[in-house]
Amino acid sequence: MGDADGLRQRRRLQPQVVTDDGQTPEAKDGSFKEPPLLLGVLQPNTKLRKAERLFENQLVGPESIANIGDAMFTGTLDGRIIKFESGEVETIARFGSGPCKTQDDEPACGRPLGIRAGPNGTLFVADAYKGLFEVNPWKREVKLLVSSDIPIEGRKMSFVNDLTITRDGRKIYFTDSSSKWQRRDYLLLVMEGTDDGRLLEYDTETKEVKVLLDQLRFPNGVQLSPAEDFVLVAETTMARIRRFYVSGLMKGGADLFVENLPGFPDNIRPSSSGGYWVGMAAIRSNPGFSMLDFLSERPYIKRMIFKLFSQETVMKFMPRYSLVLELSDSGAFRRSLHDPNGQVVTYISEVHEHDGHLYLGSFRAPFLCRLSLQSV
């Protein structure tokens, strides 16, 4: 076995064995366990309803949030990178062009998702359709780092999602949620449970891109550990978070950081306590009924649903429930903040902690939410 083949073999988490009913063993022993009971730390509450909505109807879909000093930045559903400062909303960059009004416009317009502040006063952004960018928000300069048009190890990137960057700015770790489905088809990716997502690494000096993990099911949010020895990656449709070691004795290895989460994880961000915030826009009710758990074992029903209904129609049937989970540095559940029925906080994607507040990103709400940590 050559070096390249050996690397690919190590990267695969386990052989792709399919059982009689068409599911992999990984799917069977993953998120399809009985969901955790919503008791104790997970007890439902209404703490998220204490959040205030900011900039309502001035933006749509502030998916991810980053700060450079007091200036705050996000990417929106219509393809913009915008800055909030002194109560003002200002567009500083676009990666695409066009009317940007419907889902069909997204590939031309671009859709900025994960956003991070780098060490030199610039932003690093993952655009679902275009690739990885560096943005100088002060000069309004945009630099393409990795284009989605260029296949990585023989496969295209169809859904670039989130990113995390080392403190020195040398390495960027990012997710491509699928080689098959684009962001505008994310519900099809959720329903199909495709395992063609990847965790990748970009070296800003050598300009090389490497695949670190593949065969992931909807890899989504990513976060470096404080010691920068491992990267966490959320596998949304498996309701779990994997850990990939990037330095130390375990370098190149992977394990489960936490599994059988009470909801479907989106972005992961650091908490001031040394743990991690995880945003979830759908929960796995227990006691109760979890639609996605039910459908995961009934692929024939899933296929019928998507033949009969559009994605937008299916979204209307999905229960709106916003959940924020704080994990300890070892993956234990530390506390949870809820908004049953999504009355105030809707379609949550990320929890960004800054200056004593949680800023709550959303993949489709027409506002940003802010919650004082002192109030919860």
Q: Is 349 helix (H, G, I), strand (E, B) or coil?
A: strand
pLDDT for res 292: 72
Q: Nearest CA to 306 among 319, 293, 317, 290?
A: 317
In 102-218, which ranges are E strands?
112-117, 123-127, 131-136, 141-147, 160-165, 171-176, 197-203, 209-216
How far is the CA of 319 from the CAs of 106, 208, 241, 339, in angstroms?
A: 25, 42, 23, 12
Nearest 5°: CA angle at 158, between 143 and 175? 70
pLDDT for res 315: 67
- Kind and range of the H or E run holding 8: helix 3-11
For residues 362 and 368, what is the distance between their CA atoms, to the nearest angstrom? 7
pLDDT for res 301: 78
Question: Any long-range contacts for 186-192 (C-beta under 8 Å, 24+ apart)?
Answer: 186/159, 187/311, 187/314, 187/315, 188/306, 188/311, 189/159, 189/218, 189/237, 190/218, 190/236, 190/237, 190/264, 190/292, 191/295, 191/302, 191/305, 191/306, 192/302
pLDDT for res 103: 82
Pair 373, 357: CB distance under 8 Å: yes
Enter the pTM of the model. Answer: 0.88
pLDDT for res 15: 32
Strand partners, 9: none
Pair 173, 231: CB distance under 8 Å: yes
Nearest 5°: CA angle at 358, between 356 and 362? 160
Task: Delimit the domains of the chain by residue range.
Answer: 40-375
Pair 93, 142: CB distance under 8 Å: yes
> Which residue's entry shows tokens 């692929």?
299
Show the DSSP H helices in 49-161 as ranges: 106-109
Pair 214, 190: CB distance under 8 Å: no
Which residues of the chain, if any, have pLDDT below 50? 1-31
pLDDT for res 344: 97
Which residues are CB-contacts of 265 (< 8 A; sequence separation ≥ 6)? 220, 221, 234, 235, 236, 239, 240, 241, 278, 279, 280
Give the tens place of pLDDT for each residue, 60-85: 999 999 999 999 999 999 999 999 99
For residues 61 and 347, what is the distance between their CA atoms, to the nearest angstrom? 9
> Which residue's entry shows tokens 């039910």?
294
Pair 287, 262: CB distance under 8 Å: no
Cis omega (within 30 of 0) for bond into 62: no
User: Does 2.120.10.30 match the CATH number of domain 40-375?
Assistant: yes
Give the tens place of pLDDT for each residue, 240-262: 999 999 999 999 999 999 999 99
Phi, psi of 266 (to 5 degrees): -110, -115
